[in-house]
Structure 1
Amino acid sequence: MELIQIRKIVTQVEEERHEFGPPAATPLIRGTVACVMKNPYAGRYVEDILPMMEALKPVGLEMAQRLVAAMGKAPKEIEGYGKGSIVGPDGELEHGALWHVPGGWSMREVLGDSKAIVPSAKKVGTLGTAIDIPVHHVNAAYVRSHFTAIEVRVADAPRAGEIVYILAMTSGPRVNARVGGLKASEIKGEDGQR
């Protein structure tokens, strides 16, 4: 059985310049890439689904590279990340969980020395289902200025027998972030949290 059969890849990038208060000195770039593919385990229970996790690594790597390029940033300029998946109606949530390792690994591989765990969301849905991908700082999960989410939806996915795997990245903090807490400039970089 061929595990990876991609139907399409959707990349979206936005540039935030203003958020009520003063305009951002540097616009915030937020981007997502969604890969719509066949779910080889749809419609039945399969005990050993781990081969798919390994097979997804090159897909994740291509997606992470594609997203950084689309955002027009160098890898070291990416400050926030997250991942997620939407499983079609004849799949199970565990099929979306297969993205945990390849999704996180691929971004760390492309971005370099990222320390923080990659936040994640997953759900079962159908055509046009939206999901909020949680995002936080790539090196310290406690940096409040980078807490956000990016909504992702693919109008014609997931169809029955499909999964949508998603990566999200940002180039910095929320525009006009001002709720205190650990600052990016104060990161120690020892544990991925602070």
Structure 2
Amino acid sequence: MPEFTLRKTMLFIEEIHHDGGPAAASPRRRAAIVALVKNPFAGTYAEDLQSAMDDLKPLGLMMTDRLIEAMGGIEGIDGYGKAGLVGERGELEHTALWHVPGGYAMRARLGEAKAIVPSAMKVGGVGTRIDVPLGHINAAYVRSHFDAMEVGVPDGPKADELLFALAMTRGPRIHNRMGGLSVSEVKGEDGLR
């Protein structure tokens, strides 16, 4: 069983009141949490990586719980996304370890979430930042919720570390007006519409 020793976490919270137009009736809240962990696969090639995803599930749940708390509770959370960043001694496939634990944790805590959890992966050194893609939790075609939130930490990921990120939102982009499927039209049956 590989060990993903946790070095640190960071929370990012934004409240967006306007984006050049009139102030919104209520601000849009976006929040993200990142965790820096030891990459047990750094500097080696391991054929079997999938079994290690289960080892990361507790981290995903802990991060999700802290993120929901930062959002002020579960009520109204309607967007999410995840990302992974690996240091130089790792490989891009190591970030894919986050697909199940990150997505599983948010789905488990948010309940009826049907849409795929948008994801981004990247290799980078200390101070590298990554955009966490965001989408609606029940329907991938809701354009008003297409967004991204940039995260990173000044001292990671080190060459033998992984940075895992989760993000959630409440509400559409401020001043969204690009049409497409509206939240009121979501059926939430297949995760698409």
TM-score by length of 2: 0.98
Which whole-Å CA distance do the structure 2 matches of 1:83 and 1:135 have between them? 8
Specify the alignment match of 2:172 in structure 1: 173
AA paired with 1:175? I
Which whole-Å CA distance do the structure 2 matches of 1:181 and 1:76 have between them? 24
Specify the alignment match of 1:26 in structure 2: 26
Give the C-alpha shift of residue 163 in structure 1: 0.2
Specify the alignment match of 2:146 in structure 1: 147
1:5-154 aligned within 5 A: 5-72=5-72, 74-154=73-153
3-state DSSP of counterpart to 2:104: helix
Q: Deviations for 1:31-64, whole angstroms, at most 9, x for unmatched residues?
A: 1100100000000101112232000111000001
Q: Deviations for 1:2-58, whole angstroms, at most 9, x for unmatched residues?
A: 512000011111111111111111110101100100000000101112232000111
Moved over 2 A (4+): none
Which whole-Å CA distance do the structure 2 matches of 1:11 and 1:51 have between them? 28
Specify the alignment match of 1:185 in structure 2: 184
Q: Deviations for 1:88-127, whole angstroms, at most 9, x for unmatched residues?
A: 0000011000100111000011111100000100000001
Please, which runs of 5 or more residues in structure 1 have no aligned partner? none
3-state DSSP of counterpart to 2:107: helix
Please, which runs of 5 or more residues in structure 2 have no aligned partner? none
Which whole-Å CA distance do the structure 2 matches of 1:65 and 1:156 have between them? 24
The question of whether the paired residues in 2 share the 8 Å contact of 1:76 and 1:112 is answered with no
The question of whether the paired residues in 2 share the 8 Å contact of 1:116 and 1:139 is answered with yes
Give the C-alpha shift of residue 77 in structure 1: 1.3
Q: Deviations for 1:101-154, whole angstroms, at most 9, x for unmatched residues?
A: 111000011111100000100000001101111100000000000000001111
The question of whether the paired residues in 1 share the 8 Å contact of 2:2 and 2:55 is answered with no
AA paired with 1:106? A
AA paired with 1:120? S
Which whole-Å CA distance do the structure 1 matches of 2:24 and 2:166 have between them? 25
Percentage of pairs with the same residue: 56
TM-score by length of 1: 0.97
Which whole-Å CA distance do the structure 2 matches of 1:124 and 1:42 have between them? 12
